Amino acid sequence: MLGLTISLAGLLFIPAWTLDYWQAWVFLAVLSVSMLGLTVYLLKSNPALLERRLNSRPSSEKSRKQKIIHFLVSSSLIVAAVLPAIDHRCAWSRVPPGVVATGDLLVALGVLIVGLVFKQNPFASAIIEVGNGQKIISTGPYAVVRHPMYLGWLVTLLGIPLALGSWWALLTIIPLTLVIAWRLLDEEVFLEQSMPKYVAYRNKVRYRLVPFVW
């Protein structure tokens, strides 16, 4: 997690070419505390899941399509960090502090949703796979949408541009949402083939990602 924070700091402060970027400092603090809380929770409740996720790499994906998706997500995330920094340097956006605070709240809320997913689903892998003894989870957030972890990350991703004080960086949500949608659609095909009971769950829980929308 420390490595992630340092990498993010580099992506933010180097393009901004200044440390006088309070929105970035607050964002890094909110994200670090949220991720630390999630890590501590997993250490206590499900260390095996934490270890499995930490050891998973994009190269661990068996599907070439998923490896491409991982690359696209990583590239989009870099742009999502660098663009607000450039925006700050060039002073393109004027985002009120209240909106910045809302963005930070969305970042924390998204991580909280992911934490609820981990609490409900001990098989929540970082790659698309079916673990030994894995079962269909249909309670908690899985009773609302079929892919609540992706929803949590999208909430966080929506909050990042606002937290960093950039209206222009909101445009990064479009490619990120499209790539995540591509990933979950491919994942659903895999789950239908690997877990016959998934079809019944899919028919029961109508929405994939956003309640009442899709």
Identity of the amino acid at 40: V
- Of the two residues 1 and 108, the one the predictor is more confident about is 108
Model confidence at 98: pLDDT above 80: yes
- Cα separation of 193 and 199, whole Å? 9
* CA atoms of 148 and 202, how far apart (whole Å): 13
Cα gap 163→148, rounded to integer Å: 22
For residues 154 and 66, the model is more confident at: 154
The CATH class, in words, for 2-204 is: mainly alpha
**pTM exceeds cut of 0.85:** yes
Q: How far is residue 140's CA from residue 117's CA, in Å, rounded to a whole number?
A: 8
pLDDT digits (tens, 9 = 90+) for 187-206: 899 888 888 888 999 999 99
pLDDT tens for residues 30-71?
A: 999 999 999 999 899 888 887 877 776 666 667 788 888 888
Beta-carbon contacts of 65 under 8 Å, excluding residues fewer than 6 positions away, are 186
| Rg over CA atoms, the chain | 18
86: Cα separation from own chain's centroid = 22
